[in-house]
Chain A
């Protein structure tokens, strides 16, 4: 470290997830000296997004032995004085479990490519194995997965398993033996057909069919930088608290967004588009005139349902679904409202359903025809934007910087400092720690939830449309009562999260079991594994899976502060990502903690307007409409008869 770190701050924040980052910006903005650290080499913690190779490195990190590579750290025990005690922090994050990777795309080795590693921590690791040698022979777990995989998955056609065994496979197995304490199971399956490239026709020509691009694994690796794969899949409600905060604090200037273009429903085995806005309803070809009128009437009622309590008072304590049945709505309309608009669990009460419907409708039309926005380059940008705000106001950033323990003064019972991995003591008045950094002792009494996640790379959209650049939000209702609905977000390449001609699909639900067990049934309903030989699967053909990742993420959002054991009062805990679709939980958490720490302080007020500060040179604003019109006109004259588009056409 070329530059030495100051040793005194007002606030030390450990973890760079969304709530921590918002807090960092808020504290720094209100004049506090902020140190923001993360033990990882990247921003965002479990809110991060990765390039393809970055994700592969992350997967490796997930399965690494917790003590590995920690030998160099300076022991902190001697640095604690008699009047103090230490609260050790966790050495390794274990909030990710049951990681499983499937590769369906062909492992053409012809043009093996490398992508530059993003996790600079282990560049050698990545370069040596993951990238140059695709997962062909790396069946890393001993478990016989092919039997447990559904017959539809071509797990059995893997003739290449006995190919070259990479030396590291052995290492990995040893690692797994050691890892028994956390019960983490990481396996990488290879389900590619594994055909040698010489056996393949160079161009797969199905001239009769709409053209389907052939994407190979090495292309994905080569174009890996085009991917920004989020660990959490969330969207921003256009009238939600995160949008409000981004605008209020002016952090929005660091980010750009895309509108979600479609809300989809999955009904009777088919994906359908849900008409949401008034214009959508009118233009819908699927709905009859009567249905249109029913839907309009009901949605209009939902907007001010509070004014008409008589309409639903008999149902206040009964499920929304039952209420919908009484509302002269056809079954498909009931489905749309219940699952795709209100997006509630079937047991949801009528009032909550109405409230959710109203919220959805209120968000429509602010930025587009659906209520949602998605950040360009992925959700992982958002914490970084807040970090930048914090840095602009003087916050200091250290990644790859592990805090070993909190130092507590015995007499006052307050935390006074932290000791980092260099053995340096850094003091502060307030400490904000993300849940996954707290040790097992601290969290002994804590009950966590789990989130099941799947990340898929596919070759087509789940619902074809005129444009292939659609961003879709689909809710798949539970197959049987008591199960959880699965949220599916399909991102196209213009969101800057995946390479051209592919889609990045995120599946999310709260866990009942492992991520694969929870989500694979839905994946099978919507997609078919990639195969070289095109099998006609009826109309329309399902999009094909090129690559899939399943994992469980710990959900600490429901944990109350009091269930952590032995934390001093000036240590505040931020939870990891919650399972919800919006970011409301993170924003609320950050704001609540900020008000607890600095009562009465303004939370992320707008920075002073830059245009008010200094203004010199020409007396006209550069943006003054008149100026530009004038100049364009001048140009027009000088360019003679050349075509000049009107500036208006270039507006976003």
Chain B
């Protein structure tokens, strides 16, 4: 099913519990908002078509294990005559494992982009950003990943974190920054697209992913010639 896909981009969405990571994603992918989202256990993924830079993009999104299949194209001039191929983007949610700070190192493997989310109405979620950056630095396998800071829930009245504070933090750590509301849809589309675009514009970031492809297990047999038994099954 992935035959025509050039590469896989992996994007992590992290941040404290309850800042609205899953809501942001659902808003982006599904244009829905569900205040009771916490109950989405075991739901898997959704498919959607969007436009980035006037080009069509198709996504399949996994809820909780968010994984977006992204077969889309940007303007060729972005690539400086590089060959453009469809690719997959996996948006990985934390599956609730952030709650007691027990994300597995394997969650971070090979990510090219990170969306770091805090809640503008809860200062504690902003203060904890340092911990998350620390964790990122510890586990991420590469140094040039694109980070984006998202201040969520700007629709709420009781704001505790000023926009400038967020901006300052993002500048300090060389991250993209945007404020958003999953509820009202403000800034959501922008956040995801900008991040993906930035990754695409950093060709070394995603091209190298092709060089070390591992075997993915699937129901299909993937034997190269000969099939199972290394050829011994066939008559000599």
Contact = CB atoms under 8 A, between A and B. Distances in A.
A367 B222 contact: yes
A392 B42 contact: yes
A177 interface: no
B177 to A, nearest CB: 24
B84 A387 contact: no
A462 B218 CA distance: 32
B226 A278 contact: yes
**Dominant SS among interface residues on chain B:** loop
A629 B104 contact: no
Contacts of A365: 223-224, 226-231
B1 to A, nearest CB: 4
Contacts of B96: 391, 394, 396
Contacts of A627: 71
Interface stretch (B59-67, B145-153, B154-162, B181-189): B59-67
Interface stretch (A103-111, A427-435, A609-617): A609-617
A116 B104 contact: no
Contacts, number: 232
Contacts of A3: 17, 99-100
Contact of B214 (A243, A258, A647): A258
Interface stretch (B43-51, B113-121, B167-175, B196-204): B43-51
A296 B106 contact: no
Task: Place the interface of chain A in its size category.
Answer: 35 or more
Contact of A394 (B42, B221, B225, B236): B42
Interface in B1-19: 1-4, 6-7, 16-17
A257 B97 contact: no
B45 to A, nearest CB: 4
A395 B228 CA distance: 37
A628 B4 contact: yes
Nearest to B231: A278
B232 A259 contact: no
Interface string A616-627: 111001110101
B137 interface: yes
Interface in B53-106: 56, 58-60, 62, 64-65, 69, 71, 73, 76, 81, 83-86, 95-97, 99-102, 104-106
21 contacts: A2-B16, A239-B228, A246-B217, A257-B216, A277-B232, A278-B226, A279-B230, A362-B228, A364-B228, A364-B230, A365-B223, A365-B224, A376-B214, A384-B105, A388-B95, A392-B64, A396-B99, A622-B59, A623-B2, A627-B71, A644-B83
Given A2-B16, A362-B229, A627-B71, 11 more contacts: A118-B105, A256-B214, A277-B230, A384-B107, A394-B41, A397-B99, A611-B47, A618-B56, A629-B4, A635-B73, A639-B76
Pairs A-B, 9 closest by C-beta atoms: A364-B230, A256-B214, A277-B230, A278-B231, A610-B44, A617-B49, A628-B4, A622-B58, A610-B45
Interface of A: 1-3, 5, 42-43, 116-118, 120, 225, 239, 243, 246-247, 252-259, 276-280, 296-297, 299-300, 303, 361-362, 364-369, 373, 376-377, 381, 384-385, 387-388, 391-394, 396-399, 401, 494, 496, 607-611, 613-618, 621-623, 625, 627-629, 631-632, 635, 638-639, 642-645, 647-648, 650-652
